[in-house]
Amino acid sequence: MHYQFSPQSNIARSATLVINSQAAALRAAGNIVHNLSVGEALIPTDPVIIAGAKAALDADYTKYTPVAGIASLRQAWRDWMEVSYGGVFDVGETTVTAGGKQALLLLLQILIKAGDEVIIPAPYWVSYPALVQLSGGTARILETTEVDGWKLLPDLFRTAITDRTRILILNSAGNPTGAVYTKDELSALLAIAAAHNIIVISDEVYSSLVYQGEYISCAAFPAYRDSVCIVQSVSKHFGMTGWRVGAVFAPAAITARVQTLESQSTSGAASISQYAALAALSDADRLTTQMRTALQARRDYMVDTCASYGIALSPAPSGLYQFVPLTSFGSSTTDSVAWCSDILARAHVAMVPGIAFGKEGYVRLSFGGEEASIRVAIDALMKNAT
Ligand code: PLP
C-alpha cells in the first residue's frame, strides 16, 4: 500500500523526541531517570475535585453533554474570568473544550485561511508552530530577548506585520520563560493588533501561577474585546492535566464557529471531567492559592539549590519552569539537544532543550516535581555539567 498524507500533517517531529526516546531507553535498561522535564505540577488532585467527579459518576452523568459544555460550568468559568481578571463575557461567548490545546486548535482552524501568517513570539510553547501548520497557516516567529524579559516589543510586532498577518499568539504568563506582560505592554500590543485587523489569541493557561505582581488578562481591555480570544484550562491552575478540560472566551461570531467545529470533531469535553472542573472552579480561590504556594516553594527550592552550586538563576516570575542559559552551567555550546542528550546519558537527568521552544543555547528546568526529586536531579546535574 502506498500511503498518501495531507500536507498539513507533515509537521516537524518534536525536538524533544530525541531526549524522550533516550530517557525511555535508559528506563527500560533499569536506570532511574531524574525528571526535570515535566510539564505539570506533580501534586495529587485535591479531594474536592475528586468528590465532584465521584458525585457525577454516582448521578450517572455519563452521557453526551451540550457541545459547548454543561451550563453550570460555562457560567462558573465566565464568572471566574470576571471576578479574577475583570474579563466580562456572556455565557454564550464561553465554550468548554477538551483542554487548552484543543481550544487553540479550534480557534486556529476556524480563523486561518491558506497562506495566512500567524505571529508567534519566541521562545514559544512547543505546540504553537505545529498547530498553525496543521491549520494551514504560516508561523512567523519573532525572536525576543532575555534583556527585554522575553517579551514582544511593540516596534518589533509592528514592523513584522504584512498584509497576510491575521493572528498574534500571546502567552502571558509564558511557557517556557515565565514572562508576564504588564497592562501597558498588553495595551500597546492590542492597539497595534486592532489597528491592523489582527486577532490576538491570548493563551492564559498559567494565569493563576504568577509569583509576583498582578496578573493582567487580555480580557481586561473592553476596547479590544472584538479582536481578542482567550484560551483557558484547568490543567495548570488545579493540577488537572489528565482531565482534559479547557475553555475559549471569544466574540459571538467566533464562538459560533468554534462550537460548530467542536460539534463535528470531539462533541465536547468528557462529562465527568466537566463536573470535576466545576468543583475546582467552585473552590478556585483556595485551590489556586494552594497550588501557587506549593509551586513557588518548589521554584525557590530549585533556585536555592542551584545557588548552593554557585549558579544564580533569576526566579521565574510565573509558571512551572526556569529557562536557563547553558552558559550558567559552564557550557559554551549552543546545541541544546546535544547538551541535554549528553547530561541525560551521563547524569540520567532529563530536561527540555531550548530549541524545542525556538531558542538555542538554553534549557528548560521544570520545578513541577517534589523538592526531594529536584534536589537529587540538580545534584546529579551539577556533578556532570560542563
Ligand atoms: N498552553 C501552554 C503555554 C501550555 O504550556 C500548555 C500545556 O503545557 C497548554 C497550552 C495546553 O494545556 P492543556 O491542553 O493541558 O490545557
Pocket of ligand 1 (CB under 6 A): 39, 99-101, 125, 171, 175, 203, 205, 233, 235, 241, 246
Residue 383 alpha carbon to ligand 1 centre in Å:
32
Alpha carbon nearest to ligand 1 atom 7, residue: 39
Q: Which of 110, 71, 323, 318 is nearest to 217 (CA)?
A: 318
Mutate to test the pocket of ligand 1, among 40, 127, 243, 366 (most ligand atoms within 8 A of CB): 127
Q: What is the pTM of this model?
A: 0.97
| Mean local confidence (pLDDT), 61-70 | 98
CB 247 within 8 A of CB 27: no
Residue 141 alpha carbon to ligand 1 centre in Å:
19
Three cell numbers, residue 20: 524522550
Residue 244 alpha carbon to ligand 1 centre in Å:
10
Which atom of ligand 1 lies nearest, measured to the CA of 39? Answer: 8
Residue 101 alpha carbon to ligand 1 centre in Å:
6
- Map grid coordinates 478556585 to a residue: 284
DSSP SS3 for 44? coil
- Map grid coordinates 470576571 to a residue: 82
357: confidence class by pLDDT, cuts 50, 70, 90: very high
CB 234 within 8 A of CB 245: yes
Sheet holding 352-353, edge to edge: 321-325, 362-366, 352-353
Q: Evaluate if residue 13 carries a pLDDT over 80.
A: no
Three cell numbers, residue 216: 493582567
Q: Model confidence over 208-266: pLDDT tens digits?
A: 999 988 999 999 999 999 999 999 999 999 999 999 999 999 999 999 999 999 999 99
Residue 232 alpha carbon to ligand 1 centre in Å:
9
From first CA to last CA, the distance across the chain in angstroms is 49
Mutate to test the pocket of ligand 1, among 45, 177, 236, 248 (most ligand atoms within 8 A of CB): 236
pLDDT for the residue numbered 11: 84
Task: Sort strands 349-350 and 321-325 into parallel, antiparallel or unpaired.
Answer: unpaired
Alpha carbon nearest to ligand 1 atom 5, residue: 175
Q: Model confidence over 25-42: pLDDT tens digits?
A: 999 999 999 999 988 999
pLDDT for the residue numbered 259: 98
